[in-house]
Amino acid sequence: MELSRAALNAVPVESRPRIAAPRAGIVHLGVSAFHRAHQAVFTEDAMAAAGGDWGIVHVAPSSPRIVDAIRAQDGLFSVTTLGPEGTSTRVIGASAGQMLAAADPDAVVAQLADPAVKIVTLTVTEKGYRLDGATGRLLLDDELRADLETDRAPRTVPGLLIRGLCARRRADAGPIALVSCDNLPANGHRMRGLIDTLAVAKGISGWVHQNVTCPGTMVDRIVPATTAATFDLAARTLGVRDRAAVNGEPYSAWVIEDNFPAGRPAWEQAGAVLTGDPRPWETLKLRTLNGVHSAIAYLGAVAGRETIAAALHLPGMADMVRRLIAEDIAPSLVPPPGVDTLEYGEQVLTRFANPAIEYRTTQVAGDGTQKLPPRVLHTIQQRREAGAMPRWATLVVAAWMRFVQGVSDEGNPLPLDDPLAERIRARLAAGPATPDGVVDALLGLDTVFSPELAEDAELRAELVGWLTALEKHGVAATLAGA
């Protein structure tokens, strides 16, 4: 039997939704596994604790697969928690609609202009925002320009959002909060910059200024891609099959800037932290958790390790990562009050070692040009400004440079899944295939490396040194000798 409202009778009581079909109050763009295992759960729990019409209209930008699956299941999907000592599965009932923007953009625009909708949340990955990684500014390319200057159906997320805001203004539908739940640095601030730029282009700055807020957030839960095992596990616990099942670690955290002009769910009753300034949390999480995740992913993938947990067990890896945290990351940031970066780092390593979580190194390694700036390059920049040489963070960049060349230490192919893949390949092909040549070719990616980093001769020498070691001796020997 498939999951549906009618089939809930067959589902164990403790796994059933904690709310009845809610009315819409939120539009969510990007129906990622991460969203379903994170914001959807917090929102369901907030409604269960304190009520409110905060059902989520799920909007997929272009891929029908998940929204079709959720629609066929009457809006239901399940989340399985994978603990080191056991698992549990629950069905989430917070969805209040499912839409595919590519198929019906007008319906999405109308939804954004509905006065009942008071919040838009987004998980569209770093590249969905079309921001220059080095400067954080909106990249007004042909695709986005066409969204702004013609009436064609919007093909970009910023294009869809601004179309929705224009319609909301015309409908006089009242204020709204736009909440980025992606791993961008100062995501609220970046969202604000993006919307302000678009509002100027559309001549609606005055209204946007009065009616739109962009609260920043720190989002955190490790949610590996769904596999056949996820579906089987959910089916075993629920007694019905769920085609939209997701799984994640037990840990889940959400720190949200409390700036919602038209109200919000009582997320604090679901364990979220509402605060005046989430940025210390964001910086800590991006540079420590995500920075270390990327470090293990690039080195692990080149060493032929399939999962983060397996890569963490490479000899020398855990030591290297601890030094990365202590010597480079911790001095680069001011943690939130009462938090110690080294203790936080140890917690992160325990989470990465959870044997029930099979997070692929190649999944974390994807989109490196989008992920490196906030996760690693900001650490390097801060340390260079302070006159230090962050050796371990530099090793991570060298490992990425080794990874994008596409062959592992054992000679197996490595996937280059990145919006700048073509530029990377072209730059690599144009220069000599020596460590010097590769470092120069990649430092020339100007939306990734700021001029300060690209022109830093000492940093360049350090990168060449690490890349030479990685190419000559491989990851295992490099870590052992470090």
Q: Is 354 helix (H, G, I), strand (E, B) or coil?
A: coil
Interface residue with ligand CS2, options 220, 257, 409, 456 (CB under 6 A): 220
Interface residue with ligand CS2, options 89, 95, 180, 183 (CB under 6 A): 183
Burial 415-431 (b: 16+ CB within 10 A, else e): ebebbbbebbeebbeee
Distance CA 363, CA 297 (A): 8
Per the CB < 8 A criterion, the answer to whether 211 and 195 are in contact is: no
Q: Which is nearer to ligand CS2, 220 or 242 (CB)?
A: 220
Tell me how crowded residue 210 is: count the other CB atoms within 10 A of its CB. Answer: 10
Does 290 contact ligand CS2 by CB under 6 A? yes
Site residues for ligand CS2, 98-137, by CB under 6 A, read none
From 94-102, 114-122, 172-180, 363-371, give the range in contact with ligand CS2 by CB under 6 A: 363-371
**Least Å from the CB of residue 126 to ligand CS2:** 9
| CA distances for 337 relative to 275, 281, 377, angstroms | 12, 10, 24
Q: Which is nearer to ligand CS2, 168 or 221 (CB)?
A: 221
Does 364 contact ligand CS2 by CB under 6 A? yes
Q: Which is nearer to ligand CS2, 195 or 364 (CB)?
A: 364
Site residues for ligand CS2, 367-386, by CB under 6 A, read 371
Q: Which is nearer to ligand CS2, 183 or 381 (CB)?
A: 183
Q: Which amino acid is at 130?
A: R
* Segment (H or E) for 482: none
Q: Which is nearer to ligand CS2, 295 or 395 (CB)?
A: 295
The sign of the CA dihedral 375, 377, 382, 386 is positive
**Least Å from the CB of residue 57 to ligand CS2:** 24
From 131-139, 217-225, 327-335, 467-475, give the range in contact with ligand CS2 by CB under 6 A: 217-225
From 47-55, 68-76, 134-142, 216-224, give the range in contact with ligand CS2 by CB under 6 A: 216-224
From 95-103, 214-222, 436-444, 463-471, give the range in contact with ligand CS2 by CB under 6 A: 214-222
Binding mask 234-273 for ligand CS2 (x = CB under 6 A): ----------------------------------------
Residues 6 or more apart in contact with residue 21 via CB below 8 angstroms = 5, 55, 75, 93, 96
Q: How far is CA 92 from the centre of its chain?
A: 21
Does 221 contact ligand CS2 by CB under 6 A? yes
Q: Which amino acid is at 173?
A: A
Interface residue with ligand CS2, options 363, 391, 436, 480 (CB under 6 A): 363
Residues 6 or more apart in contact with residue 124 via CB below 8 angstroms = 29, 30, 61, 157, 182
Determine phi and psi for 378, rounding to 5 degrees.
-65, -35
Residues facing 218 on adjacent strands: 255
Give residue for tokens 């930008």.
61
- Listed in order, strand segments (DSSP E) in 137-235 are 176-180, 212-213, 217-220
Give residue for tokens 């390097």.
380
From 103-111, 218-226, 234-242, 323-331, give the range in contact with ligand CS2 by CB under 6 A: 218-226
Distance CA 115, CA 117 (A): 5
Distance CA 88, CA 425 (A): 44
Q: Which is nearer to ligand CS2, 122 or 162 (CB)?
A: 122
Interface residue with ligand CS2, options 138, 184, 222, 401 (CB under 6 A): 222
From 100-108, 155-163, 220-228, 326-334, give the range in contact with ligand CS2 by CB under 6 A: 220-228
From 87-95, 114-122, 215-223, 471-479, give the range in contact with ligand CS2 by CB under 6 A: 215-223
**Least Å from the CB of residue 371 to ligand CS2:** 6
Q: Binding residues for ligand CS2, how many (CB under 6 A)?
A: 9
**Least Å from the CB of residue 289 to ligand CS2:** 6
Q: Which is nearer to ligand CS2, 118 or 378 (CB)?
A: 378
Residues facing 100 on adjacent strands: 60
Tell me how crowded residue 259 is: count the other CB atoms within 10 A of its CB. Answer: 15
Q: How far is CA 427 from the centre of its chain?
A: 27
Residues that bind ligand CS2 (CB under 6 A): 183, 220-222, 290, 293, 363-364, 371
